[in-house]
Amino acid sequence: MLDIKFVRENKELVKENIKKKFQDNKLPLVDEVIELDEKVRSLKLEGDELRKNRNLISSEIGILMKDKKQEEANQKKEEVSKINEKLISIEEEESIFAKSLREKMLVIPNIMDSSVPIGKDDTFNVEIERFGEPVVPNYEIPYHADICAAISGLDKESAGRTSGNGFYYLIGDIARLHSAMLSYARDFMIDKGFTYCIPPFMIRSDVVDGVMSFEEMDDMMYKIEGEDLYLIGTSEHSMIGKFKGQIINESELPIALTSYSPCFRKEVGAHGLEERGLYRVHQFEKQEMVVLCKAEDAMNWYNKMWSYTVEFFRSLDIPVRTLECCSGDLADLKVKSCDVEAWSPRQQKYFEVGSCSTLGDAQARRLSIRAKGENGNYLVSTLNNTVLASPRGLIALLENNYQEDGSIKIPKALQPYMGGKEKIEKK
């Protein structure tokens, strides 16, 4: 969410930013919020004047009562009563306008970084760099669900009976490999200096409103019936929410955290669920990284964070590339974002395994997260990035380490988490 003062002083810039995101339907919001802000400020000023007058009259009543001028005192009391009635009306009106102002402000997109490429949708995203040589072996790579099935490692049929489409059982060595990747991702980030956390897996609606847009919430999140709680779609939500309403000592910045959680997503929309496989499912597990820092340090952290994900996947012998998200593919709260994509030798193309974003002070403004510095309090900047989301990361590992005899080579980095095993044999 933008600062209303910024919108007032930079109306055309805000409108131009909306146009670059191809959201022209939101252009009227800019004038609407400026008009609402004027009403709120006018009512506040009127209310302040009335309170000032009430205080003066109240002090006069005390003097009149002391001088036993009861009739004059009663007249003044009637004036105070009328002021109170007027104040109630003004405060109610101000509250209505302020609520409408906030609701509209939440929909206006954050100002993008000038380096973000302009494009209507993800087909305009720009490849930045490739890491590792994408290899297509001279033997066929089966579909990942078939690789798992050949090792007796996947059961979607039983999950369909217990939970429905979009769920799965991982079994045996495949389940162990999945857990090994997550354990390695945890230790990888701890070695980078991040503090490990396991957060709540449910959050309240005021935290949801603070970390994401309404459209994202409707498409992603499951609500707990009868309670003000939502299942998290990523641990970023509860990790940022941890600091809601807090004032952090500047000396504590930056705060670098890495968190594990299961994640739950409706996966509503054009992509839909994957019927047979594990690429797009309702439930998965994730190792995330979250940073709170000063505004001037945010871009440096952004570049470090996506590079850690690249380094993680390369340590598992998986070629990856980075892809800059264009303006039309950038979520409204984000200033800049890039995806890390892993190579699929079966499809002979890259697919998304992680996303890194810097959000400026948008989340901090919504959740009132500030730092206390020498010159007063200020909003922090927030960033988040995927270390590993699995089973999607598992798919990349299986395809890039699949051997001609049907076995799966276990990268050296994972072998300590697999009891020293060097490969998983086909059964």
What dotted CATH number matches 4-105? 1.10.287.40
d(CA 343, CA 357) in angstroms, rounded, equals 21
- pLDDT above 90 (res 167): yes
Q: Are 232 and 154 in contact (CB under 8 A)?
A: no
d(CA 154, CA 168) in angstroms, rounded, equals 7
d(CA 168, CA 365) in angstroms, rounded, equals 38
- Residue at token pair 């080579």: 409
d(CA 225, CA 242) in angstroms, rounded, equals 23
For 311, the token pair is 């380094």
Query: How far out from the chain centre does Cα 99 lie?
Result: 23
List, for residues 169-197, the tens digit of each pLDDT value. Answer: 999 999 999 999 999 999 999 999 999 99
- pLDDT above 60 (res 356): yes
Query: How far out from the chain centre does Cα 339 lie?
Result: 14
CA angle 344, 346, 351 (to 5 degrees): 25
d(CA 266, CA 282) in angstroms, rounded, equals 6
List, for residues 385-414, the tens digit of each pLDDT value. Answer: 999 999 999 999 999 999 999 999 999 999
Delimiting residues of CATH 1.10.287.40 domain(s) in the chain: 4-105
List, for residues 307-351, the tens digit of each pLDDT value. Answer: 999 999 999 999 999 999 999 999 999 999 999 999 999 999 999
List, for residues 29-85, the tens digit of each pLDDT value. Answer: 999 999 999 999 999 999 999 989 888 888 888 888 787 788 888 888 888 888 899
Q: Are 385 and 308 in contact (CB under 8 A)?
A: yes
Reduce the secondary structure of 186-231 to three states and give it as a string: HHHHHHCCCEEECCCCEECHHHHHHHCCHHHHHHHCEECCCCCCEE
Spatial CA neighbour of 324 closest among 183, 141, 117, 186: 117
Q: What average pLDDT does the segment 148-168 reach?
A: 94
Q: Are 387 and 289 in contact (CB under 8 A)?
A: yes
d(CA 143, CA 147) in angstroms, rounded, equals 6
> What's the confidence (pLDDT) of residue 272?
60
List, for residues 103-130, the tens digit of each pLDDT value. Answer: 999 999 999 999 999 999 999 999 999 9
The rounded mean pLDDT for the chain is 94
For 320, the token pair is 């990856």
State the DSSP string of 109-159.
PPPPPTTSPP-SSGGG-EEEEEES-----SS----HHHHHHHTT-EEHHHH
CB-based contacts of 227: which residues, under 8 Å, 6+ apart?
A: none
What dotted CATH number matches 122-424? 3.30.930.10
Delimiting residues of CATH 3.30.930.10 domain(s) in the chain: 122-424
